[in-house]
Structure 1
C-alpha cells in the first residue's frame, strides 16, 4: 500500500516543502523551462522505457511511498498556447529503486567501482553498461499514459521516486503528438525527466520505505544526467497536498515547452555505468 503520513510526519513534511520552495524561488534556473515559447531541453530516455498503452491516471498499483500528484503542463512552442491532446508517458522506479518490467535485472556497479581492482563487487552488481532494455517480467507499476486536456495538462497519481546507484531521484516522461506523416500515427516530440527539490529529497530519503534498501543516494550535483542535461530547468514546484478521503502527500507541477512538429535527436546517454 502507499505509505500514509502521520499528522506529525505531515507537519514535518510541510515544513520541508516550504524550505524547498523558498530555495527554488531563489533560483531562476529552476523555472527556465517556463519562459514563454523557449523549448525545454531534452534529457536522455534511458534503458527502461516500455512501449505500452496503459492509459491511466493512477499508476501506483499499491507500491509503498509518499503519495505524489504530478502535473505535467505542456506548452506548444509554435503558438505559446496549451498543447492539447498530446500523449504523455511517464515511468519511474519505486521506493526501492526498481522499475517494473525490469525487476530481475542486476543493479549496475557503483560509479567508483573498479572491476579490475582487488575488491569484489557487492552481490547483485555487475560490471559494464546497463543490460539491454528487455523486460524480464510483466509487472507494470509506476507506468502510465495520459492525454493533455484543454489546458495542456496531464495529472498522474504516483509516489515520490526512490533512487538507485548513479542516478538521483527522477521521473521520466515522453511526449508523443500526431505525426505529419501518414505512415505513422504519432511521433516523439520530446523526452524529458522531472526532478524534485534536492533539500526535499534529502529529507524524504531518510524515512521508510526509501531508506530500507540502504543504497547510497546520488545527489543532484553528482548525477551526470542532471548536471549535463539541464536538469535544473526541470525541477518541479512542490506543495503539501491533503484532501478529504485521500492520503497526505505532495503535489508537484512542472512545465515543458514542446514543438509538436519536431522530431528531436535522441540525447546520447551520458558515458558511464549508471543507467537512466
Structure 2
C-alpha cells in the first residue's frame, strides 16, 4: 500500500523552471531494438529538438509546450508547461482497479510503449506518485467491458484500407453508432484489456505497454487518460483523492495511415474520422494531447514509441464533466 501524496505548498517554488532531460533518456530506450525516440520536435511549441536519425520516422508534437516567460525563457534548456487540455471522460471509463503497466492482455496489434510525464503546471516540478489511468479501444475499435456496445469495425474487408480522405461528417454517439456520448455507461462484460493504472516515479514519469489503438465511427484514433492525486493504492485498486486531469491523446494521420496497412488494422473497414475532423481534438498540438511518435520508417508493425508531457493543476478537480469541446463545426458528443 502506498501512502497518499501530500500537496506541494512551497510557494517559493512557483514558476520555477524545470530542466527537462526527457529527450536523452528516451533516446536510450526502444521497442525490441527497432524504435528510437530521436526525432526533432515541433518548433511551433518552442520545444528543443531531440536530434534525428535516418532510421526513425517521427510524427506528432514533442512532449510539452514552452511557456515563453520567466527566467531562462528561450534558452532551449529550461521549460515550463502549459495546462494540458481537459476532455470529456466518455462513456466507457471503469474505475482504476487494474494496477499494471502492461495492459495488452491478448489483444493483437502494433506494440506500443506510451511514456508520459506529469508536471505540476504551477510549480513546474514533476508530480510524483500521481496515479495515471489510461484506456482505449483495440485495433478493431472495441472497448473492453463494453464489447456489445462498441461494435468496432472488424468486418471482412471489401476494399482498400481507409484513406486520408474519409467521406461524410463524423456522427454523434459512441463506437459503432452506439454508446451514450459523454455520459457514463455501465459495463456490459467483465473484460478489462487495454486498461491500466500506474504511479508516476520521482521524476513524474510513467510508462505503459499496450498496442496502437484502432478507430471506430465518429472519432479519430485516441487514448483516454485521467490523473489522480491524493489517494492510495489498495487491494481493490487506487482509491481516494481526486482527479486533477481528464484528457485524451491523439495520433497524427501519417502514423494512422501506416497502421491501416498492416494486420489486424487492415481489416477495419469502418469509416475513419481524421484528426482535423475530430469532434474533441482542439488543434493545439501537444497541449491538446497530440503525441510525439517514433517508429522505424516503413516498418511500423515492429513497434511505436509515444511520448507526451502533461501539465496539470493538482489543486483542481477535472473529472471529465467540465471539458471544452473541439472544433466548433464538429459534434461534441462522441466519446
TM-score (norm 1): 0.76
Query: Does residue 1:275 correspond to 2:331, yes or no?
Result: no
Q: What is the RMSD computed on CA atoms of the aligned residues?
A: 3.4
Distance 1:113 1:167, change over 3 A: closer
Q: Which residue of structure 1 aligns with residue 92 of structure 2?
A: 48
Q: Which residue of structure 1 aligns with residue 56 of structure 2?
A: none
Distance 1:104 1:212 in 2: 19
Cα offset for 1:26? 5.0
Distance 1:90 1:128, change over 3 A: closer
Segment of structure 1 superposing worse, 46-55 or 84-93 = 46-55
Cα offset for 1:262? 1.0
Secondary structure, aligned partner of 1:155 = strand
Give unmatched runs, 5+ long, in structure 2.
Answer: 1-31, 47-60, 67-79, 153-166, 232-238
8 A contact 2:280–2:332 mirrored in 1: no
Q: Which residue of structure 2 aligns with residue 211 of structure 1?
A: 266
8 A contact 1:74–1:153 mirrored in 2: yes
Residues paired across the two proteins, number: 243
Secondary structure, aligned partner of 1:221 = coil
**Deviation digits for residues 158-192 of structure 1, max 9, x if unmatched?**
0100000010111111000017xxxx821000011
**Deviation digits for residues 200-256 of structure 1, max 9, x if unmatched?**
11111222111212112110011011147x465322112237xxxxx9311111110
Distance 1:126 1:262, change over 3 A: closer
Q: Which residue of structure 2 aligns with residue 34 of structure 1?
A: 65
Query: Does residue 1:194 correspond to 2:249, yes or no?
Result: yes
Distance 1:127 1:92 in 2: 14
Answer 1 or 2: higher relative contact order, Cα 8 Å, separation at least 6: 1
Select the structure that is richer in helix: 1
Query: Does residue 1:162 correspond to 2:214, yes or no?
Result: yes
Cα offset for 1:132? 5.3
8 A contact 2:325–2:332 mirrored in 1: no
TM-score (norm 2): 0.63
8 A contact 1:111–1:274 mirrored in 2: no
Secondary structure, aligned partner of 2:276 = helix
Distance 1:37 1:274, change over 3 A: closer
Segment of structure 1 superposing worse, 204-213 or 167-176 = 204-213
1:252-271 to structure 2, matched below 5 A, reads: 252-264=306-318, 266-267=322-323
Distance 1:248 1:211 in 2: 16
Query: Does residue 1:221 correspond to 2:276, yes or no?
Result: yes
8 A contact 1:198–1:219 mirrored in 2: yes
Distance 1:142 1:125 in 2: 21
Which residue of the other structure, out of 137, 143, 159, is the alignment partner of 1:99? 143
Q: Which residue of structure 1 aligns with residue 163 of structure 2?
A: none
Give unmatched runs, 5+ long, in structure 1.
Answer: 1-9, 115-123, 242-246
